[in-house]
């Protein structure tokens, strides 16, 4: 039996594939609009195609014996989703529905879904648990929450089980040094700061200095991509072992860092000084997002293993190569 990884040529997908291939047969489906084939571990079978294309999904389910689908493939930029909502509903909701319908047709009944802290919107508590009300403030967060709701409806009537993983801010690079965080264009804070410190960008902008946080800049909870990858495998094994089904888990470190603190840590690790441009707020950004991951820790024994220094050090090692 194999695992189908949709979006396995993207940042988080490719890191998960690297962990999976040591134990499982893996088929990667990716349309390469934001992913790179070079990120896919050579032990996995790569199929270039779109998960919203029923014929492509048919062929995969007919050719391989698929036990579960890990679904990473999505557009994931908050700002872009505000500018172009239909792109987000088409790709993140519409295409996923095709995949889900095909799973039911072919009796593939385990699904692990990449969701996001953006489903909480502006949270009503400092530390976000899975019980915190969801109220996304941008189309990206709404597109992910829609799929979460669809999964719950499906599990009520079909022979179908799922795990939803709500990531906070994924960061860092694989210990092999072979893969790391790379988007084109790049919009994420840590790679932007590191590229600037390497002289690849003229300056960095801090979006907003008037938030209600300790230093006025946005606070986020950064989690290493390999810790995220391990949570997927634990979730899959928890489902196959009958330990869990139809659960939603937060994945974060439980510690918030402001944009200024991230820049400061990047400067310390690199030994270089940044040129900072303080700019207005970016649309769709909540002030602070910090996770409680107690639920997955209690139910599956997952614990993050990288703190902020280890996360940024791994990213710096990869970027400076």
Between CA 22 and CA 44 the distance in angstroms is 10
Q: 139 to 168, contacts with ligand UFG by CB under 6 A?
A: 168
Q: 270 to 299, contacts with ligand UFG by CB under 6 A?
A: 282, 285, 289
Closest CB to ligand UFG among residues 21, 315: 315
**Least distance in angstroms from the C-beta of 247 to ligand UFG:** 19
Cis peptide before 252 (omega within 30 of 0): no
Phi then psi for 207, rounded to 5 degrees? -85, 95
CA atoms within 13 A on the CB side of 101: 12
The radius of gyration computed from the CA coordinates of the chain, to the nearest angstrom, equals 19
Among 165, 192, 231, 269, binds ligand UFG (CB under 6 A): 192
Residue 80 interacting with ligand UFG (CB under 6 A): no
Closest CB to ligand UFG among residues 47, 118: 118
Query: Which residues neighbour 25 within 8 Å (Cβ) at sequence distance 6 or greater?
Result: 1, 2, 3, 45
Active-site residue, selected from the candidate residues 11, 88, 120, 140: 140
Helix intervals (H) in 84-165? 85-88, 95-105, 139-157
CB-based closest residue to ligand UFG: 218
Which letter does DSSP use for residue 24 in this model? Answer: S
Between CA 145 and CA 137 the distance in angstroms is 11
Binding range to ligand UFG, per CB under 6 A, among 6-14, 84-92, 198-206, 238-246? 198-206
Closest CB to ligand UFG among residues 8, 191: 191
In residues, how long is the chain? 321
Q: Does residue 140 carry a catalytic annotation?
A: yes
Angle between helices 95-105 and 54-63 (to 10 degrees): 40
Among 87, 90, 188, 295, binds ligand UFG (CB under 6 A): 188
Q: Which residues bind ligand UFG (CB under 6 A)?
A: 76, 78, 116-118, 168-169, 187-189, 192, 204-207, 218, 220, 259, 282, 285, 289
Catalytic residue list: 140
């Amino acid at each position: 039996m194999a695992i189908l990884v949709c979006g396995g040529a993207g940042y988080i997908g490719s890191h998960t594939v690297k962990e999976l291939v040591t134990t499982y047969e893996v088929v990667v489906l990716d349309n390469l609009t934001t992913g790179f084939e070079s990120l896919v571990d050579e032990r996995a079978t790569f199929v270039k195609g779109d998960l919203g294309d029923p014929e492509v999904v048919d062929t995969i389910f007919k050719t391989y014996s698929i036990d579960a689908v890990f679904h990473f493939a999505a557009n994931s930029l908050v700002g872009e989703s505000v500018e172009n909502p239909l792109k987000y509903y088409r790709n993140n909701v519409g295409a996923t529905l095709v995949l889900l319908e095909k799973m039911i047709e072919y009796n593939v009944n385990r699904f692990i879904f990449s969701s996001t802290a953006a489903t909480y919107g502006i949270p009503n508590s400092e530390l976000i648990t899975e019980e915190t009300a969801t109220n996304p403030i941008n189309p990206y967060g709404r597109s992910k929450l829609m799929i979460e709701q669809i999964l719950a409806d499906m599990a009520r009537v079909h022979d179908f089980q799922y795990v939803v993983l709500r990531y906070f801010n994924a960061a860092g690079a694989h210990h092999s040094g072979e893969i790391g965080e790379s988007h084109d264009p790049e919009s994420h804070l840590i790679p932007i700061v590191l590229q600037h410190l390497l002289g690849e960008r003229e300056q960095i902008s801090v979006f907003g200095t008037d938030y209600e946080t300790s230093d006025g800049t946005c606070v986020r909870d950064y989690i290493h991509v390999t810790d995220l990858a391990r949570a997927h495998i634990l979730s899959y094994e928890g489902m196959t072992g009958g330990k869990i089904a139809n659960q939603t888990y937060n994945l974060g470190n439980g510690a918030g860092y402001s944009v200024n603190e991230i820049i400061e840590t990047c400067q310390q690790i690199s030994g270089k000084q940044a040129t900072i441009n303080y700019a207005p707020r970016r649309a769709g950004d909540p002030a602070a997002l910090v996770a409680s991951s107690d639920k997955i820790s209690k139910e599956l024994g997952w614990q993050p293993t990288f703190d902020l220094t280890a996360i940024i050090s791994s990213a710096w090692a990869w970027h400076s190569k």
